[in-house]
Structure 1
Amino acid sequence: MKNFLLRTLTFLLLFTFMGSFSAFAQEAQEKPLTEKEQRKLARKKAKEERKKAKELAKQQAKAEEQARLAMAKQAMQDQQFVLQANQVYDRYGNVAQVTNNINFIKMEKENCVVQLGFEGIVGYNGVGGITLDGKISELEIKENEYGGLSMVFNVQGSIMQARVRINLNGGDNWADASVRSQTENIEIKFRGNIVPTNLSSVFQGATPY
């Protein structure tokens, strides 16, 4: 009988304690946050949102780069593209920032146009430079080690024959190209974006015949 009473008393005490603890926990949970705690929580949420937005923007930028790369590779394989140059280099490494609608390499199937131009100058082609327009030969296209494409070919025009090399980078539609005259010791390098011909915007100057 004594043991029964002891067990009953222990159970009642434990039940009372658990009830009190549950009530305390609920009260603590429902207790409103202080102004300082609210500011801290708001800063934490804002930081998390900025992190998510930054990661999303990074993913979108990567997807856009890959889309431009795929479009440029397809255009090169179709031989319907334009490399619109923002920079040109001479053989000594001197660089000039140029207008990309008058400085370009354009391929349309078996034809190619290579043009160099500088605003404010007339030049041989009317846009401050020279325009080589001719047929291509000995075309080679292959994947490069960066996931892009490398292209090499000759252009035979009325004023010169040139060897053209184009290297499409593997992370975007940026490309580097060199144009070396096979009749004179002249080489010019272009750097710019490769786009399909139907999406390009270039102005072709006069070609001497």
Structure 2
Amino acid sequence: MKRSVTILICILMGIGIALQAHTNESITQRKSKKHNTPDSTDIKYHAKALAALKDSSFVFHTDRIIFNNGISTSVSSVTNFISLNKNRVVVQIAFDTPYIGYNGLGGITVEGHISTVKMRTDKKGFTRYEFYANGTGISAKVELTLHPVNNTATAIIIPNFNNKQLSLSGSIMPLDKAYIYKGTSF
């Protein structure tokens, strides 16, 4: 009799613990749903980024570069960017290394003109902005994707003469609000 009461108590305690864990999980889920909703600041940044894309006057600040083999590295968004001013584009990549690179910052800076601009927003709210960049040192297709709830974005640079594309992640800001440091270009 004593043993069955002990087993019953253990079962009831187990059910109580399980119910408590389920309740805590529900509270955690409600909190995470609340945190996943965009706040007014995110919506303002998204609106400004979208307006800058429409005006073709923006800077895509890069904070992470992903190479073809899947390896990625964090970089400074001040020296790694894609800048677009109407029909003029600057693409700069600069790594934090002792090697000064072609641009004096440990990487490369290329400038050119853009053509064939396409902009569309899909059903989920992702805005795709594509253009071709041609100039000294660059001949590539650039695909930017602005996320639907803030100004974070991804970019893919696809060269026309080889298959060594470069993927970037970062954020989009209007040209007049962005802070960048441009190195020596080709």
Cα deviation for residue 60 of structure 1 reads 9.9
**Alpha-carbon distance between aligned partners in 2 of 1:115 and 1:145, rounded to the nearest angstrom:** 32
Correspondence for 2:149? 171
Equivalent position of 2:69 in the other structure:
92
Equivalent of residue 131 in structure 1, options 109, 115, 120: 109
Cα deviations by residue, 1:144-163 (Å, 9 ceiling, x for unpaired): 33323111111001123011
Q: Distance in 2 between matches of 1:61 and 1:171?
A: 6
Q: Which structure has more helix as a fraction of its residues?
A: 1
Structure with the higher fraction of residues in strand conformation: 2
Kindly report the root-mean-square deviation, in angstroms, between the aligned alpha carbons of the 2 structures.
Answer: 1.9
Secondary structure of the corresponding residue to residue 111 of structure 2: strand
1:181-206 CA distance string (max 9 Å, x none): 11233211110010000110111111
Aligned to 1:111: 88
TM-score normalised by length of structure 1: 0.69
Opposite residue 172 of structure 1, the aligned amino acid is N
Query: How many angstroms apart in 2 are the aligned matches of 1:73 and 1:145?
Result: 16
Structure 2 CA distance for aligned equivalents of residues 92 and 145 of structure 1:
31
Matches within 5 A, 1:29-48: none
TM superposition shift of 1:119: 2.1
Q: CA deviation at 1:68?
A: 0.8
- Residue 102 of structure 1 corresponds to which residue in structure 2? 79
Q: Secondary structure at the match of 2:39?
A: helix
3-state SS of 1:68 partner: helix
2:163 matched residue in structure 1: 185
Letter of the 1:67 counterpart: K
Query: What are the ranges of 5 or more consecutive residues in structure 1 without an aligned counterpart?
Result: 1-53
Who is 2:137 aligned against? Answer: 159
Deviations 1:126-156 (A, max 9, x none): 1111112000011111113332311111100
Among the aligned pairs, what percent are the same residue? 27
Q: Is the 8 A contact 1:81 1:196 kept in 2?
A: yes
Separation in 1, partners of 2:57, 2:96: 26
CA, structure 1 residues 160+115, in 2 after alignment: closer, same or farther (shift >3 Å)? same
Provide Cα deviations, 1:93-149, integer angstroms capped at 9, x if missing partner: 111000001111111000111111012331111111111200001111111333231
- How far apart, CA to CA, are the structure 2 residues paired with 1:187 and 1:60? 33
Inter-partner Cα distance in structure 1 for 2:134 and 2:37: 42
Contact 1:160 1:183 in 2 (8 A): no
Structure with higher RCO (Cα < 8 A, 6+ apart): 2
Alpha-carbon distance between aligned partners in 2 of 1:61 and 1:138, rounded to the nearest angstrom: 32
* TM-score, with structure 2 as normaliser: 0.77
Partner residue, 1:13:
none
Quote the Cα distance in structure 1 between the aligned partners of 2:142 and 2:38. Answer: 31
How many Å apart are 1:63 and its aligned residue? Answer: 1.0
Tell me how far apart the structure 1 counterparts of residues 184 and 89 of structure 2 sit (CA, whole Å): 14
> Could you say if the C-alpha distance between residues 137 and 171 of structure 1 is closer, same or farther in structure 2, counting changes exceeding 3 Å?
same
The separation in 1 between residues aligned to 2:103 and 2:133, in whole angstroms, is 18
Larger Rg: 1
